[in-house]
Structure 1
Amino acid sequence: MGRAGAPGGDADAPPQTGTTHTRPGDRGCNVKLLVIAPHPDDEVLGCGGTIRRLTHQGQTVHLAIVTRGWEPLFPESQVRQVRQEAQAASKLLGVADLSFLDLPVTRLSLLPEHELNGAMTRLLDEVRPDWVMLPFVGDLHEDHRQVFNAAMVALRPLPNRLGVTRILCYETLSETHWHLPGAEPAFQPQVFVDISDHLAAKLEALRCYQSQLYPWPAARSLAAVEALARFRGTCVHCEAAEAFMLVREVIGERQGGGPF
């Protein structure tokens, strides 16, 4: 798998104290987060503020982008542009390691199941994360569903996966909220991360993806992304937040002095 990206500069203001909302990594533990994104920009849309919050605290974030476009549907020049955009966004957010798995975009459902499951297993074996963030299983895009399912196969609570103590699903504008209500699982978040001090960094990282942005009122517009963050903030009485569904959390000795 290809690699790019390195910790970026720190342009954010220092985090404020006194908030009572979710503060991942605040209690001195060293957290290694793996974010798995089906496509470039999903990571910024879903958890860009949380990524920046963690890296600002000195935590380690790994990002894996699962798919890439292939000719003739996607010209190689476009693929290179999007990859450069992903590298720029990751650097700005302080991502320690960016991996490209280079599986075929929009065609994950056509791959043999063991191939995608194997890719997720190898990724987890290499990174050995404490926390994992995934796309939501009810997203409209089939790639998102396939990535979630394969990752959960690889994350089965077997002896070699006991180090993973938290699995979360993020919401992706234009995918999470466009399914048929009642026919698909609804995104009902229980975890909110206060990104009030890092919303500007999230939006700046999203600006790196010029090829993926559209003008308001498109769902993938800067204004829409900010609006969702502001709304999620009102759910927990802060200026801006990102919302997640909790898949699994393990509280116990194997957390090694974590937040609990």
Structure 2
Amino acid sequence: MKILVVSVHPDDETLGCGGTILKHNRLGDELYWLILTRCDESLGFKKDFIKKRKLQIQKVSKEYGFKKVYELDFLTTKLHNVDFSKLIDKISNVINEIKPEIIYMNNRSDIHTDHQVAAKSIMSCTKSFRYPFIKKILMYECISETEIAPSLPENIFIPNVFSDITDFIDKKIEIMSMYESEVQNPPLPRSLENIKALARYRGASCGVNYAEAFMLIRERF
């Protein structure tokens, strides 16, 4: 089975579905990673940081066993400035090349504008009559982005699919720690302790020790 994991920013994949990616790897599924944005000196990032981020992507990709990593290189925090048709075209090209059966994507109502724009674009790139090979689309949550969105009905993340990651939680935490600049100290949300606590809470919702939660957008049997 071909699996496409979409990250607006590197680390989204680990926060949202790292344990599930590891599970797919154990099952022998074919894994692909699409990263939409990159950091750049024009945005105030140092050369050393940019170099370190590239190395992190390589290390994380190896840990998950991705067959190929696609990087679209749009500027981080600037997706709202990108011509929407250009964004759709680039994402569509990747989807048509891979022809994935399952797609994991960012939540459409996260507080980060990049996530909102990306989710809208991805949904435009996954219409069933144009991409019949896609059998399932799942949105994942990103701690520090999903739960911080305004508490309005249209922004609520309502999980209806749970993935048991009990066997993979420690590895997920280990991989997340590779993103040194993204890990926060407690009680801030993106601490390793809180990432594990969220998995524990989601696990309690479905009767396992640790889980990741998703919103099912579409499924075809």
Calculate the TM-score normalised by the size of structure 1.
Answer: 0.82
Q: Give 2:17's match in structure 1, choosing from 47, 50, 62.
A: 47
Shift in Å at residue 75 of structure 1?
2.2
Partners of 1:237 and 1:225 lie apart in 2 by 18
Deviation at 1:54, TM superposition (A): 0.6
Quick one: distance in 1 between partners of 2:210 and 2:118?
Answer: 27
Secondary structure of 2:167's aligned partner: coil
The aligned residue for residue 27 of structure 2 is 57
Alignment match, 1:129: 100
User: In the alignment, what sits opposite 1:35?
Assistant: 5
C-alpha deviation, 1:207, in angstroms: 1.2
1:239 to 204, 209, 221: 209
Which position in structure 1 is the counterpart of 2:81? 110
Q: When the two structures are aligned, how many residues end up with a matched partner?
A: 220
After TM superposition, list the pairs within 5 Å mapping 1:191-206 onto structure 2.
191-206=161-176
Match of 1:188 in 2: 158
Matches within 5 A, 1:84-123: 84-123=55-94
User: Deviations 1:51-93 (Å, cap 9, x if unpaired)?
Assistant: 0001011111111111001223222321221121122122112
1:119 CA drift (Å): 1.1
Q: Considering only aligned residues, what root-mean-square deviation do their CA atoms show, in Å? A: 1.1
Q: How far apart are 1:205 and its partner, in Å?
A: 0.8
2:174 aligns to what SS in structure 1? Answer: helix
161-170 or 145-154, which deviates more: 145-154
Q: Using structure 2 for the length normalisation, give the TM-score.
A: 0.96
Partner in structure 2 of residue 255 of structure 1: none
Counterpart of 2:118? 147
CA contact 1:90–1:205 (8 Å) conserved in 2: no
Return the alpha-carbon distance in structure 2 between the equivalents of residues 102 and 140 of structure 1. 21
- Which of 22, 37, 40 lines up with 1:70 in the alignment? 40
